[in-house]
């Protein structure tokens, strides 16, 4: 017989993948081009359908998403025709307008190293209150951990701010971190005196600070603590009663020591009797006395025959008398 044509109508050809696909600036829509009449399917990175629509007769589509995507998420967009054939998907990234979470931050006791966690791959930066950068680093791309060695120590209660900036330029809120290390020494003690009997040093200073008293040879001769009223009274290891110079300083709990304040003990100790020799003419007396003391010679009636200040280092002295001392006369040297 003659041939009878018969045609298979089943459509097994999938549409081409959509083109010119974009996500709107606010992350609420996906737009693009495709086969007219085809269904548009949008999926997130977990293969969840987050939006559906239809390509219009002009070959364009605009699909409302279930929620805005604003953190750079990757979406997959495909087309399905009436026969159920689905195209390859086209990948598109949402805009990234979401700032990262504020990073965590801890500073070490020396105020030099800051550690914490931030958005993986973000740039972590630390700035002081004037906006000067003290250091930055890229957080680990997987864990988000970071560690920054600062350009200078942050101490004495100074607060600096830590931020994270993602690749799209969004910057997180600031995380403040405070350097607690105390590097400021107390002021030198004031109103410092030695008691009349030379057994104590009293004065004023920073409450809670340790008081350190040293002699002229840098030996510690007394320690104490400033009370809550800012006053101190330190017992000395031995009385100082010969005009000795003492140095008094304060040290706080962080180990910072103040400048010292000098104070002289009272001088209530009489000098040793001077040595004395008179020359054969009875006019010049020489000897040794306490360095810096005043040596005076008097006759038996108490009349001064001369005086001089002994050498401040050696104690040596020499006095030319106002008149000769002869014929067994005795005079007194003090």
Query: What is the assigned CATH class of domain 190-264?
Result: mainly beta
Question: Is the confidence at residue 6, as pLDDT, over 90?
Answer: no
Which residue, 65, 122, 114, is CA-closest to 94? Answer: 65
Q: Is 214:224 a contact under the CB 8 Å cutoff? A: no
- Could you tell me the pTM of the whole model? 0.61
The sign of the torsion formed by the CA atoms of 29, 33, 35, 41 equals: negative
Helices (H) and strands (E) in the chain, counts: 0, 27
Q: 56-82, pLDDT tens digit by residue?
A: 999 999 999 999 999 899 999 999 999
- Give the rounded percent of residues in the chain with a pLDDT score beyond 70: 98
What is the dotted CATH code of the domain comprising 19-93? 2.60.40.10
* CB contact set of 10 (below 8 Å; sequence gap of 6+): 83
DSSP state of 311: P
* CB contact set of 38 (below 8 Å; sequence gap of 6+): 15, 54, 55, 79, 80, 81, 87
* CB contact set of 280 (below 8 Å; sequence gap of 6+): none
More confident residue, 7 or 305: 305
The whole-angstrom separation of Cα 287 and Cα 295 is 10
* Average model confidence (pLDDT) across the chain: 95
Query: What is the pLDDT, as a whole number, of residue 268?
Result: 86
DSSP state of 206: -
Locate the domains of the chain by residue range.
Answer: 19-93, 104-179, 190-264, 275-333
The CATH number of 104-179, from 2.130.10.10, 2.60.40.10, 3.30.390.10, 3.30.390.50, is 2.60.40.10
- Using the structure block, give the residue that is written with the tokens 């603590």: 225
- Give the rounded percent of residues in the chain with a pLDDT score beyond 90: 90
Q: 308-324, pLDDT tens digit by residue?
A: 999 999 999 999 999 99
The whole-angstrom separation of Cα 77 and Cα 31 is 10
19-93 and 190-264 share one fold:
yes
Q: Is 150:114 a contact under the CB 8 Å cutoff? A: yes
Q: 98-153, pLDDT tens digit by residue?
A: 999 999 999 999 999 999 999 999 999 999 999 999 999 999 999 999 999 999 99
Query: What is the pLDDT, as a whole number, of residue 11?
Result: 66
Query: What is the pLDDT, as a whole number, of residue 264?
Result: 96
């Amino acid at each position: 017989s003659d041939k009878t044509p018969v045609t298979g109508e089943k459509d097994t050809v999938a549409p081409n993948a959509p083109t010119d696909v974009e996500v709107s600036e606010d992350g609420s829509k996906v737009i693009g081009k495709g086969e007219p009449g085809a269904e548009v399917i949008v999926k997130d990175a977990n293969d969840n359908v987050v939006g559906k629509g239809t390509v219009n007769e002009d070959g364009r589509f605009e699909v409302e998403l279930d929620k805005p995507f604003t953190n750079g998420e990757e979406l997959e967009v495909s087309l399905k025709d009436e026969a159920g054939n689905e195209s390859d998907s086209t990948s598109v990234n949402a805009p990234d307008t979401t700032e990262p979470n504020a990073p965590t931050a801890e500073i070490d006791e020396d105020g030099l190293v800051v550690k914490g966690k931030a958005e993986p791959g973000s740039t972590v930066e630390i700035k002081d209150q004037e906006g000067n950068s003290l250091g930055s680093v890229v957080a680990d791309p997987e864990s988000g951990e970071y560690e920054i060695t600062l350009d200078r120590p942050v101490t004495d209660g100074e607060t600096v701010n830590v931020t994270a900036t993602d690749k799209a330029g969004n910057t997180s809120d600031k995380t403040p971190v405070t350097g607690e290390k105390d590097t400021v020494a107390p002021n030198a003690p004031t109103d410092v005196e030695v008691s009349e009997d030379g057994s104590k040093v009293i004065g004023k200073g920073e409450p809670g600070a340790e008081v350190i008293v040293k002699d002229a040879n840098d030996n510690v001769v007394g320690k104490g603590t400033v009370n809550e009223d800012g006053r101190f009274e330190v017992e000395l290891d031995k009385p100082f009663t010969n005009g000795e110079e003492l140095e008094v300083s304060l040290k706080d709990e962080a180990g910072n020591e103040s400048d010292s304040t000098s104070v002289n003990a009272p001088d209530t100790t009489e000098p040793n009797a001077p040595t004395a020799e008179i020359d054969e003419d009875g006019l010049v007396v020489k000897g040794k006395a306490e360095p810096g003391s005043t040596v005076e010679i008097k006759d038996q009636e108490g009349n001064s025959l001369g005086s001089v200040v002994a050498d401040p280092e050696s104690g040596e002295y020499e006095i030319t008398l106002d008149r000769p001392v002869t014929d067994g006369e005795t005079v007194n040297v003090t």
